[in-house]
Structures are given as C-alpha cells and as structure tokens.
C-alpha cells in the first residue's frame, strides 16, 4: 500500500526523483574516483621514491584499490548522468551508457590488475612499481575512450 502511494506521488512529479538519483550518482562517482586517486597517489609517491617504501602502508593502499574495484560501478552510471546531459558536472561520456559491455570489460581489466597489485604491493618497491604501472594502464585505457578531457 505504502509502495503504491509512493509510486503514485513519483508519477505526479515526473523527473524529480530521477534528478535526485542523477545528482547522487554523479556525486558518488566523484567520491569513488577521489578515493581511488588518493590510494593510487599514495602508492605512486612510494613507487617514485618521494616517500619511503613501507610494505604495510603499501598493502593498505592496494587493498583499498582492490576493494574499490569490486564495487558494482555500473549502478552509478545511470541514464541522464553523462556530460552531454549534465555539462559542467561530469566528464563521463554518454558512450559509457551506449557501450556498457565495453566499459565493463575495461573495468574488469582494472579489477584484475588491482588483484595483482594487492598481491605484490608488499613485496618491495620494484614489485609495487610494476604492478602499479599495470593498474595505471587500465585507468588510462578507460579514460581514453570514456572520459572527456574536461567537465
Ligand atoms: C593514476 C590516476 C589515473 C591513472 C592514469 C594512468 O594514478 O589517478 O587517472 O593513474 O594517470 O595513466
């Protein structure tokens, strides 16, 4: 009964619920990629020797990245949430929605590289650097096709 009333209300104000859903998805995506970037940045600083290598810290960063890579990210790429529809708010290109299979194939490659990174991050700076480079390659591969240069 309650569900029927909510549905009826939602139908009376077309677009309102969807607009909130779109804004939430965009904000959640930005948070997701900010977290990813923080952990990538921490590892990158170690791999470059900008900060001392610390196996335990490296493993923590790598675990965070692997955990993030398990998230069902397709749930954040909702219709109407792309740059063409939300200019200034997002760099996500509408081709993501048109080619979700291709997008998710790249996401899976990222997940595989993140699993290797999780296994190698604690094994020394050289191993970390190699595995981190592989993850970075999967980031770039997706950005090349699916992310605009600016908002
Ligand atoms: C990172 C990061 C990315 C990728 C990309 C790789 O650490 O934040 O977006 O790697 O720069 O080319």
Give, for all 151 residues of the chain, the pLDDT tens digit: 455 555 555 555 556 669 999 999 999 999 999 999 999 999 999 999 999 999 999 999 999 999 999 999 999 999 999 999 999 999 999 999 999 999 999 999 999 999 999 999 999 999 999 999 999 999 999 999 999 999 9
In sequence order, what DSSP letters do the residues of 93-128 get, joined into one string?
A: -THHHHTHHHHHHHHHHHHHHHHHHHHHGGG-HHHH
What is the residue with the minimal CA distance to atom 12 of ligand 1?
140
Q: What is the DSSP letter of 90?
A: -
Question: Within a 10 A sphere around the Cβ of 81, how many other Cβ atoms?
Answer: 23
**What is the pLDDT at residue 5?**
56
Query: Are 55 and 150 spatial neighbours (Cβ–Cβ below 8 Å)?
Result: no
Residue 73 CA, chain-centre distance (Å), reads 7
Whether 40 lines ligand 1, by a CB cut-off of 6 Å, is yes
What is the residue with the minimal CA distance to atom 1 of ligand 1?
136
Work out the angle at residue 28's Cα, subtended by the Cα atoms of residues 62 and 68, and round it to the nearest 5 degrees.
20
Ligand 1 atom nearest the C-alpha of 44 is 7
For residue 147, the cross-strand partners are: 92
Contacts of 5 (CB under 8 A, 6+ apart): none
Whether 81 lines ligand 1, by a CB cut-off of 6 Å, is no
Q: Is 67 left (phi over 0), alpha (psi -120 to 50) or beta?
A: alpha
What is the distance in A from the centroid of ligand 1 to the CA of 132?
10
- Closest by alpha carbon to 43, among 100, 125, 139? 125
Q: What is the pTM of this model?
A: 0.89
């Amino acid at each position: 009964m309650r569900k029927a009333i909510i549905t009826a209300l939602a139908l009376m104000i077309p677009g309102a619920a969807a607009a909130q859903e779109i804004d939430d998805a965009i904000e959640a995506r930005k948070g997701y990629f900010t977290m990813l970037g923080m952990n990538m940045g921490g590892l990158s600083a170690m791999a470059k020797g900008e900060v001392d290598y610390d196996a335990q810290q490296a493993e923590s960063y790598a675990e965070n990245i692997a955990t993030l890579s398990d998230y069902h990210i397709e749930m954040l790429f909702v219709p109407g949430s792309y740059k063409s529809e939300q200019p200034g708010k997002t760099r996500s290109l509408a081709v993501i929605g048109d080619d979700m299979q291709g997008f998710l194939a790249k996401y899976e490659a990222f997940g595989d590289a993140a699993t290797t990174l999780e296994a190698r991050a604690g094994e020394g700076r050289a191993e970390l650097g190699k595995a981190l480079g592989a993850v970075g390659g999967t980031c770039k591969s997706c950005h090349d096709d699916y992310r605009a240069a600016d908002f």
